[in-house]
Amino acid sequence: MPSGTAPDEDRAVTNDEAEAPRERLYGRARGHRLRPRQQLLLAQSLPRMRFGAEFLTSEPVFLEIGFGGGEHAIAQIGHLRLIPCEVFENGICSLLSRLVPEGEEATVIPPDNLRLWDADARILLRQLPPGCLAGVFLLFPDPWPKLRHAKRRFVQPANIALLAGVLRPGGEWRIASDDPTYQDWVDAQMAEQSEFRLQQRSDTRPPGWPPTRYEAKALRAGRKPVYWSYRRA
């Protein structure tokens, strides 16, 4: 973390100290009924792995906004210090099930380089110290394709400004989407801002970008993803 950006050690960053923004950027928070193992993971393992301010150290920290089934997060924690954000309980359980051995739900020791955020990512972004993030991932977010739902898309001026405030100069913001409407939206929104500079726009997944189930689903359906890399100016 850059000098001068260390958080107040007496103040823990929590997901309930501030209300979520009025306009939700996600749909339902739960899918099918949770199985007993999943209930244990949420009740016993999740509290042990939740993000707190103590996770912010001098080491580079990365943020994933909406981790889906957790495939990308699992691939990245082998070499990154990561805060994966997700509100969908089934997705949270999917990631936790990969991290927590059966029978160790109440005693699991969290990986040193991973802490979860299970609320609206914008709450966290408003509380993080300036310049504390080295990179951000926004991979295959809900495109909200109907025009009346456009304000729910994450790539908006207000959220771009939030990310610019917490991403250090030179930090990378990766975006991927298979939805043509969202692809056009990203191009248009990012063309109107000055905080980030486009480094790459590709129709093939760049080297070093782990695959996700959403990408695989899109390819099976014949949709063509676009991958952007932006750098904080």
The full set of domain ranges for the chain reads: 53-232
Of 134, 143, 135, 139, nearest to 205 by C-alpha is 139
User: What was the pLDDT predicted at 3?
Assistant: 31
User: pLDDT of 19-63, one tens digit each?
Assistant: 555 555 555 555 577 899 999 999 999 999 999 999 999 999 999
Per-residue pLDDT for 132 more than 90? yes
Nearest alpha carbon to residue 127 among 218, 19, 222: 19
- CATH architecture assigned to 53-232: 3-Layer(aba) Sandwich (3.40)
Residue 34 one-letter amino acid:
L
Residue indicated by tokens 């990179």: 135
Do residues 169 and 197 touch, judged by C-beta distance below 8 A?
Answer: no
Label residue 208 left, alpha or beta by phi (over 0 means left) and psi (-120 to 50 means alpha).
left
Query: Does the structure show a pLDDT above 50 at 9?
Result: no
Q: Is there a contact between 56 and 7 (Cβ–Cβ < 8 Å)? A: yes
Please tell me the predicted confidence (pLDDT) of residue 109. Answer: 95
What is the average pLDDT score of the chain? 89
Q: Strand order of the sheet with strand 133-139?
A: 82-85, 61-65, 133-139, 167-177, 226-232, 196-202
Kindly state the percentage of the chain with pLDDT values over 70: 87
What is the predicted pLDDT for the residue at 26? 53
**Residue 197: other Cβ atoms inside 10 A:** 13
The whole-number pLDDT of residue 148 equals 84
Task: Supply the residues annotated as catalytic.
Answer: 142
pLDDT at 86: 95
Alpha-carbon distance 154 to 49, whole Å?
Answer: 25
The DSSP call for residue 19 is P
Helices (H), the chain: 36-40, 46-49, 71-76, 89-99, 121-127, 157-166, 180-191, 213-220
Residue 142, H or E segment = none
